[in-house]
Amino acid sequence: MGAPGALDVLIVSLGSTTGLRTADAELAASIERAGASVALTGAGPQRQVRTMMLTDLLWARGARKAAARALAEGPAPRAIIYSSTTAALLWPRPGAIRFDAPAAGNRPGREGLWQRPLERRRLAEAPLLLPLSAGALEELPAVVRGGGRALVLGLVAEPSGPAAPARDIAAITYAANPRKKGLDRVLAAWRELLAERQAPGELIVAGASERELAAAGIALSAEPGVRSVGRLEPAEYRALLRRARVFVCAPRREDYGAAQLEALADGCMLVSTPAPGPYAALEIARRLDGRLIGEQLLQGLRAAFDEPSPGYGERALAELAPFSRAAIDERVAHELLPRLLASH
């Protein structure tokens, strides 16, 4: 779109998780497929600290350094996308902000003491807001989300490969940040299920290291019918989803829920409690089979194993059509880029 040697879009990636890095790489590829030039820069690993206030500060400083370095050393971009509000907090130059949830929603109390007011300023200054869901936009103050500056642009959720010959894993859960994901509640429901019947198979716990589990006070060795596989590469994890009958979770808050959307894409039935936050998969799961969604996980597990809803997987893929790579590419080419580059 631009002149040879010029740069249309610079993406400043926070990259604090595998999911964020994957999402930013997907967005960059989609922009390239639309015919625009794009560069991706990231904050890089940051040291672990004890509070979210300091964690966010370190990652915001890392994102600022990465953005400043890219602006100083590379061609000047026509537009910048900051991936997450944290990446935008200390920006060297205004740009669009892509986010799953604002600090206004997921950093209550002291944990967001400095982030919330600065985030509000940055969101007001941004030329374009790119929430992953309508729910994320609704968590913003009305004065910030007004003005027609928002474009909802979700993440790609497609099958990761051919279905396994047999679904030989009873259930799987993704437990990165075990307390927030409600792993303790999942394990309690699994114990209840096993107390009333013969085990339907294993519950696989993915996404959390032994150290993270121990820090959350969880010892899986004491849990019958449960096995931890730790942190896996995305392809290995998705291969497990294709073998699992159920994805079960009980988040205390859900900022988006990419893991649940991936599970649906790979043919799992989603058993979940409701959760505050912009939980993108929740209404989809209710439409697919409302029996599987409720405060009592045990009831959802019973229904999933005893009376699975016919055609669940096929109906899930139909529900996920707006999250296909082709659908996202269409929005990037015909809605995002025209708006992003309009003033340049």
pLDDT one-digit tens code per residue, 73-123: 999 999 999 999 999 999 999 999 999 999 988 999 998 999 999 999 999
Q: Does domain 7-156+324-341 have CATH number 3.40.190.10?
A: no
CA distance 55 to 42: 16
Q: Which letter, b or e, does each residue of 77-95 get, where b requires 16 or more Cβ atoms within 10 Å of its Cβ?
A: bbbbbbbbbbbbbbbbeeb
In which element (H, E) is residue 25 found? helix 18-33
CB under 8 Å to 171, separation ≥6 — which residues?
A: 190, 200, 201, 202, 203, 204, 244, 245, 246, 247, 248, 271, 301
CB-neighbour burial class of residue 109 (10 A; exposed 0-12, middle 13-18, buried 19+): exposed
What pLDDT score was predicted for residue 343? 59
What pLDDT score was predicted for residue 323? 97
What pLDDT score was predicted for residue 147? 77
Position with higher pLDDT, 330 vs 215: 330
Same CATH fold assignment for domains 7-156+324-341 and 169-320? yes
Q: Which of 5-9, 60-64, 198-202 has the highest mean pLDDT?
A: 60-64
CA distance 183 to 190: 10
Q: pTM for the whole thing?
A: 0.94
- What would the mean pLDDT of 265-276 be, rounded to a whole number? 98
pLDDT one-digit tens code per residue, 232-254: 999 999 999 999 999 999 999 99
Which strands make up the sheet holding 7-13, listed edge to edge? Answer: 38-42, 7-13, 77-83, 96-99, 129-131
Nearest to 264 by CA among 315, 312, 305, 316: 316
pLDDT one-digit tens code per residue, 127-170: 999 999 999 999 998 888 877 899 999 999 999 999 899 999 99
- Where do the domains of the chain lie? 7-156+324-341, 169-320
What pLDDT score was predicted for residue 222? 87
CA distance 227 to 246: 15
What pLDDT score was predicted for residue 4? 61
Domain 169-320 top-level CATH class: alpha beta
Residue 1: pLDDT over 70: no
What pLDDT score was predicted for residue 293? 98
Cβ–Cβ < 8 Å for 82, 100: no
